[in-house]
């Protein structure tokens, strides 16, 4: 019998498949389908910093009748009301998901500043979440703000949130930090029990006819996995935090690669939009078949076997690999 169990954020999971934060998780019936199809845990859709601030604006508007500035201020926020029912509704989703599901439920907070994060982190824990994911969607645009300032702010945020909650905390990072291994160690020291690699920044497009910046949503593809594999393999064994791959996992072979790099779990969403929630069962069956065919007794047995510290040629992860690719490409061009 193949052992698919793994450990993530101190949680014992029946397999490494975790449903990532997405709009699919807004409906309890979908969450139940995820569990029935084999998901080991679910990350609920994110509660956005804008929703927390929007709640405060509405409250101020009610307290100060006739203050037109408040009505105008509300228009500054994106349309978060239709995303879900706001902070109170989010806490109710956490409670109901915990009542209904038998697998771990992970809450998610999305933002960049301290704001209401610390308070709501505690409330999400009180509502019954088994863990909390901080989805740090931070794109610095101020040329006067240094990378050190950005990283200091992030580490302090993790420390404050961790001090507020009794549940494990993971941090979902972007790949755009200048010294990611050092930042990863700092976040682990600040209390992060897990690092999720990587957040996907949705790049806006240009509407050249109307001279507007237009939102552009594109689901992930398997080609995005390579960046995740690269950095998980570098961080594994060097950071005291569990590692999760998110973005680009679309097949059982992608799961295998992620585990060999050093991931404890993979988080999936795009493939569920494309193939349907029931595709989770197919992934699990294919994963078992692959392990059996290659004579692995468990997923833990392969974990980290291709990481930077253990691979026979560590230079494959750094500059030497770049040189080999250039040489190989030049040779093919000559042919």
Write the pLDDT tens digit of every residue in 295-327. Answer: 999 999 999 999 988 877 777 677 655 556 566
CATH of domain 6-304: 3.20.20.70
Residue 30 has pLDDT above 60, yes or no: yes
SS (H, E, C) the chain: CCECCEEECCEEECCCEEECCCHHHHCHHHHHHHHHHCCCEEECCCEEHHHHHHHHHHHHHHHCCCCHHHHHHHCCCCCCCCCCCHHHHHHHHHHHHHHHCCCCEEEEEEECCCCCHHHHHHHHHHCCCCEEEEEECCCCCCCCCCHHHHHHHHHHHHHHHHHHCCCCEEEEECCCCCCHHHHHHHHHHHCCCEEEECCCCCCCEEECCCCEEECCCCCCCHHHHHHHHHHHHHHCCCCCCEEEEECCCCCHHHHHHHHHHCCCEEEECHHHHHHCCCHHHHHHHHHHHHHHHCCCCECCCCCCCCCCCCCCCHHHHCHHHHHHHHHHHHHHHHC
pTM of the model: 0.85
pLDDT in tens, 268-295: 999 999 999 999 999 999 999 999 999 9
Extents of the domains making up the chain: 6-304
């Amino acid at each position: 019998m193949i052992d698919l169990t793994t450990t993530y954020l101190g949680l014992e999971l029946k397999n490494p498949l975790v449903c990532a934060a997405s709009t699919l998780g807004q409906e309890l019936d979908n969450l139940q389908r995820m569990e029935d199809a084999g998901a080991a845990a679910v990350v609920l859709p994110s509660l956005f910093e804008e929703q927390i601030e929007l709640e405060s604006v509405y409250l101020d508007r009610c307290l100060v009748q006739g203050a037109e500035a408040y009505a105008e201020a509300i228009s500054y926020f994106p349309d978060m009301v239709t995303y879900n029912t706001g902070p109170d509704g989010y806490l109710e989703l956490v409670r109901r998901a915990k009542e209904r599901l038998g697998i771990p439920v992970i809450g998610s907070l999305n933002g960049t500043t301290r704001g209401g994060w610390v308070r709501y982190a505690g409330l999400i824990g009180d509502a019954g979440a088994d863990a909390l994911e901080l989805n740090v969607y931070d794109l610095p645009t101020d040329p006067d703000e240094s990378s050190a300032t950005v990283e200091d702010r992030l580490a302090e945020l993790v420390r404050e949130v961790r001090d507020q909650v009794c549940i494990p905390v993971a941090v979902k990072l972007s790949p755009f930090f200048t010294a990611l291994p050092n930042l990863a160690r700092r976040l682990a020291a600040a209390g992060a029990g897990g690092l999720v690699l990587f957040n996907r920044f949705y790049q806006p497009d240009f509407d050249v006819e109307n001279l507007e910046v237009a939102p552009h949503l594109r689901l992930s593809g398997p080609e995005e996995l390579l960046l995740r594999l690269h950095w998980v393999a570098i961080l594994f064994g060097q950071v005291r935090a569990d590692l999760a791959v998110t973005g680009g996992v679309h097949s059982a072979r992608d799961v295998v690669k992620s585990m060999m790099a050093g991931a404890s779990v993979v988080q999936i969403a795009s493939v569920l939009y494309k193939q349907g929630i029931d595709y989770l069962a197919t992934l699990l069956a294919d994963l078992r078949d692959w392990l059996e065919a290659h004579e692995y007794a468990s997923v833990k047995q392969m974990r980290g076997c291709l990481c930077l510290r253990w691979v026979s040629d560590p230079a494959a992860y750094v500059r030497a690999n770049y040189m080999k690719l250039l040489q190989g490409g030049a040779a093919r061009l000559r042919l």
